[in-house]
Structure 1
Amino acid sequence: MPTDPRSLPQSALADLADVPATGRWVRSGSARLHVLDYGGPGVPLVMLPGITSPAVTMDFVARELTDRVRPLVVDVRGRGLSDGGGRYTLEEYAEDTEAVVEGLGLERPLLFGHSMGARIAAATAVRGKVPLGGTVLADPPMSGPGRGPYPTTLDTFLGQLRQAQHGTDADEVAASWPRWPRREQELRARWLASCAEEAVVATHRGFEAEDFFDRWPAVPGPVALLYGADSPVVTAAGAAEARRLLPSAAFAVVPDAGHMIFWDNPAAGLAALRDALRPMAG
């Protein structure tokens, strides 16, 4: 599989100067993983972003949680400043998450993941290799064998990635994501090229080859699932199946939001996340 070079413009690295977090590094096998640590005395919350979302793109979510938890946002393998390489399977991503927990000495952290990150959080929780205090999943891909394709095609992802590799800007991003806050459009324009093509290809393949519902019923509590009212990823049927298979989970629907919950409706998305974390964070 060909691998396009990953790159970051100087303006992207300058974004980190405006982020109220400390960059930390851990090893998972031969890979170095980068984590944005927002500090504070709260319960650690390991945050796992989506398929083409480096850690810095979740800054606007993390900084709104520091009064309740200690957010630590991971540059998932093959994104942002973390190394690429490997298989990019859920098991490998879960191993990376365990390495973050162990490498930073986090005691019974909470896990929170959006989209791809939600699948990783579920896989990590089910593996049970590190003690956790709870898990929150936001709009996990429910596609899989016999369930139809993931709503966003691989060609769409690759088209956006190549656009970024050639140089894009916030206006071009806005054509695809018109509802996003301007700062988030700018961050995506600058940071998308840090995502490895092989990581995107393998992860998208996993969305359709690995069934979320194989793990979901075994996710230990406490667990919460958030989803956008207009999401094509977590449909009404998917949400109903999730409720049936794990009735002990807490569920919250974010109004006026699609799959990109926090970008589409930041206030409602953050309120739902804070509500989900409240009983877990103590």
Structure 2
Amino acid sequence: MSTYLYGANVHANGIRQHYLRYGGTDGARAGRDAVVLVPGITSPAITWGFVGERLGSQFDTYVLDVRGRGLSEASDTLDYSLDAQATDVIEFAKALGLNKYSIVGHSMGARIAIRAARSNPAGLTRLVLVDPPVSGPGRRAYPSKLPWYVDSMALARKGCSAEDMRSFCPTWTDEQLKLRAEWLHTCDERAILASFDGFHDDDIHADLPHIKVPALLMAAERGDVILEEDVAEIRGLLPGVETTRVPGAGHMIPWDNEEGFYRAFGGFLGAEL
């Protein structure tokens, strides 16, 4: 049975924020913290719907369209900075009256979660940081290259098939490729360029010592987004952080090893998935 409830919009932090809701607050979920899922740089909320379904089985779950993606607000005057994105999440939780909530962020979404947690917002109880880019000032570049994003978005804006997307995402299933082909055009190029620049200009490592809530760092076994020396540095900056690697997975962890992704949470959020 699906846990999907509805999609909706809320005015928070001065913009329209679109989200998908799963699970609700009935049964055992009533006693557990809500979960706000923040996707990566070119992942509209709908592309994380399958994860929302699973999280919704145990938690009241909200999957965000980050500003400039999906059905959330976008414009040529909108601030696409990490600070604005982080404040969006905090104000989103306030607007929906989420008194206690966890943030699960993937890639860019994990960097947003780190910046949001730095200010210790009321109601935030824990963080799950899924393969966050550890690039920044004076650090090695993020391994994915900008043309991969720009070229695939240009193709999607023209209208393309799942097969057209295969050269960009060769390991994805037909269903995953169809969803990306359908929704990638909703990613505003201005937002993606700003966020990609932010991967190299924003210093999330400086935020880590200010985080006061429990955190779980989930890294991919394959790929080079997070190396072992990066894990060690994060442990030093954020004492007590739990760490795990998902076997057989690249950066898009639940696409590569969905069940391994859910197992990696353990009971960290308050119930196993």
TM-score, scaled relative to structure 1: 0.88
8 A Cα contact 2:11 2:17, kept in partner: yes
Displacement, 1:40? Answer: 2.0
Instruction: State the match for 2:208 in structure 1.
Output: 216
8 A Cα contact 1:173 1:185, kept in partner: yes
Distance in structure 2 (CA, Å) of the matches to 1:180 and 1:194: 20
Distance in structure 2 (CA, Å) of the matches to 1:238 and 1:187: 32
8 A Cα contact 1:65 1:274, kept in partner: no
Distance in structure 1 (CA, Å) of the matches to 2:164 and 2:208: 37
Q: Describe how 1:176-215 pairs up with structure 2 within 5 A.
A: 176-215=168-207
Instruction: State the match for 2:67 in structure 1.
Output: 77
Match of 2:134 among 142, 156, 162: 142
1:257 counterpart = 2:249: yes
Displacement, 1:29? Answer: 4.0
Match of 1:238 among 218, 221, 230: 230
Helix, strand or coil for the counterpart of 2:166?
Answer: helix
Instruction: State the match for 2:40 in structure 1.
Output: 50
Tell me how large the CA RMSD over aligned residues is: 1.7
Q: Describe how 1:1-282 pairs up with structure 2 within 5 A.
A: 20-41=4-25, 42=29, 43-85=33-75, 86-278=78-270
Instruction: Name the aligned partner's letter for residue 83 of structure 1.
Output: E
Helix, strand or coil for the counterpart of 1:147?
Answer: coil
TM-score, scaled relative to structure 2: 0.91
8 A Cα contact 2:152 2:168, kept in partner: no
Residue identity (%): 38
Helix, strand or coil for the counterpart of 1:253?
Answer: strand
Helix, strand or coil for the counterpart of 1:133?
Answer: strand
Q: Which runs of 5+ in 1 are unaligned?
A: 1-17
Displacement, 1:218? Answer: 2.0
Distance in structure 2 (CA, Å) of the matches to 1:63 and 1:152: 28
Helix, strand or coil for the counterpart of 1:64?
Answer: helix
Q: Greater CA deviation, 179-188 or 201-210? A: 179-188
Distance in structure 1 (CA, Å) of the matches to 2:164 and 2:266: 32
